[in-house]
Amino acid sequence: MKKIIIANWKMNPSSPKEAGQLFSNTVKLISGVKKTEVVICAPYVYLSGLKKLSSKISLGGQNIFKVEEGAYTGEISADMLYNIGVQYVILGHSERRALGENNLNVNKKIKIALRAGLTPILCVGEDKRDENHGYFNFVKNQLEECLNGVQKDSLSKIIIAYEPVWAISSTLNRRDANANDSREMAIFIRKTISDKLNNQNKMPRIIYGGSVNERDAEDFIKNGGVDGLLVGRASLNAKKFSSIVKICEASER
Ligand code: 13P
């Protein structure tokens, strides 16, 4: 399966002009890339415009509502994203969890996204690490509650992003995670998921996110036990983001 590099632009940039430039510059810089899938998860208001610029990069949303349609002022549905040509959606990001998102809602959103034909990018990850390794159980519980009732053969359609909150660039007093942190959790996530699968079911892709930059991307890709990366801040710079994509491309056999 292809490796995947996903940009999460979060609530940036502040105008469609800048969004278009960032997108077009990124497209240009990765023009030779063939083996790596590239996705940009942009604010809703830019998605239709970006779709018209290039199909080289797939598009993703950063959230959907937990109900399919109806009187929910201000919300955006999975079908709306799908019907404008969006393929992916980030769900359960820690920045949304900090605003009140919980596993039960994320579970509803995953099922709705799958039904609509979107690929959910499910974010899991602990706030902090403790000496007793309780963070493994924390992530296991997130996985179990968020994936509860999801059909076995749909699990492979989901991308699981391990994003330790303590390593994300927006976290106060953050510290770096390393490829070892990523690898041990990727193994644990695979084991947790494989306990839910039959032999014939495929594994979902597992990716790492948390302050990935053009200097450490190679280590995460080669030694982090993951199938790709979820990139926040560095994705707002076309040069840095494209370097990360190219590092991933070069690591493919
Ligand atoms: P940073 O790369 O800015 O730490 O963001 C990671 C992230 O939250 C991606 O979803």
Residues 93, 101, 214, 249: which is the catalytic one? 93
CATH number where 213 lies: 3.20.20.70
Residues with a CB atom less than 6 Å from ligand 1:
8, 93, 163, 168-169, 209-212, 230-233
The CA–CA distances, whole Å, from 9 to 67, 105, 190 equal 24, 23, 27
Residue 197 confidence (pLDDT) above 90: no
Residues 37, 95, 126, 163: which is the catalytic one? 163
Measured between alpha carbons, how far apart are the two ends of the chain, in Å? 12
Q: Which residue, by CA, sits nearest to atom 5 of ligand 1? A: 232
Parent domain of 125: 3-251
Backbone angles phi, psi at 227, to 5 degrees: -100, 10
Q: How many domains, in total, are found in the chain? A: 1
% of the chain beyond a pLDDT of 70: 99
Backbone angles phi, psi at 4, to 5 degrees: -135, 135
Instruction: Quickly count helices (H) and strands (E) in the chain.
Output: 9, 8
**Among residues 65, 184, 171, 193, which one has the least CA distance to residue 118?**
65
* 163 is an active site residue: yes
Give 9 Cα–ligand 1 centroid separation in angstroms: 9
Residue 209 confidence (pLDDT) above 60: yes
Residue 199 confidence (pLDDT) above 80: no
Q: Quick one: average pLDDT of 145-165?
A: 96
